[in-house]
Amino acid sequence: MSMKVHCIMLVDDNKDDNFFHKRVITKNEAADVVVIKESGEEALEYLRKNQEDSLHPHPDLIFLDINMPKMNGWEFIEEYKKLDKEFQSKMVVVMLTTSENPDDRIFAKKEDIIADFRTKPLTKEMLDEILTQFYSL
């Protein structure tokens, strides 16, 4: 049986991918809410604001792309680390990217913040695996 979290955030500049990934998530009822941010800056702003006022759905899981204009995935991670640690601990960050560059994969392994590294597109199987791994207590 499929698991479900409250909120999943997609950080990706590719609108087509966002549409497709949101569809996979909702179709498989993996989250109540899907928040889409098309840049690292926007995503950070959302998280920073929520850290103060908690007015918006808090992401349990973030899918993060690497190759984005301006702030890329790695730069986002650097900024993300500056958020409150307890606040951070309520989220799981998974890299979801086209990159088949082994360097990125090696880099991701070294980064504690990044729980997993996946290649697009997101599938039902992938979702199940990730949710089972990080949310079955």
Question: Contact between 51 and other proteins (CB under 8 A)?
Answer: no
Question: Contact between 12 and other proteins (CB under 8 A)?
Answer: no
| Helix residue ranges, H only, the chain | 15-27, 40-53, 73-80, 85-89, 102-110, 124-135
Q: Which of 3, 4, 7, 14 binds other proteins (CB under 8 A)?
A: 14
Fill in the DSSP letter of residue 59.
P
Q: Which of 99, 114, 130, 131 binds other proteins (CB under 8 A)?
A: 99
User: Chain-centre distance of CA 14, in angstroms?
Assistant: 14
In the complex with other proteins, the residue whose CB is nearer, 67 or 88, is: 67
Distances (CA, A) of 81 to 4, 25, 57, 84, 97: 26, 26, 20, 8, 20
From the list 31-39, 44-52, 73-81, 96-104, the region that binds other proteins by CB under 8 A is 96-104
Binding site for other proteins (CB under 8 A): 14, 16-17, 20, 23, 98-102, 120-121
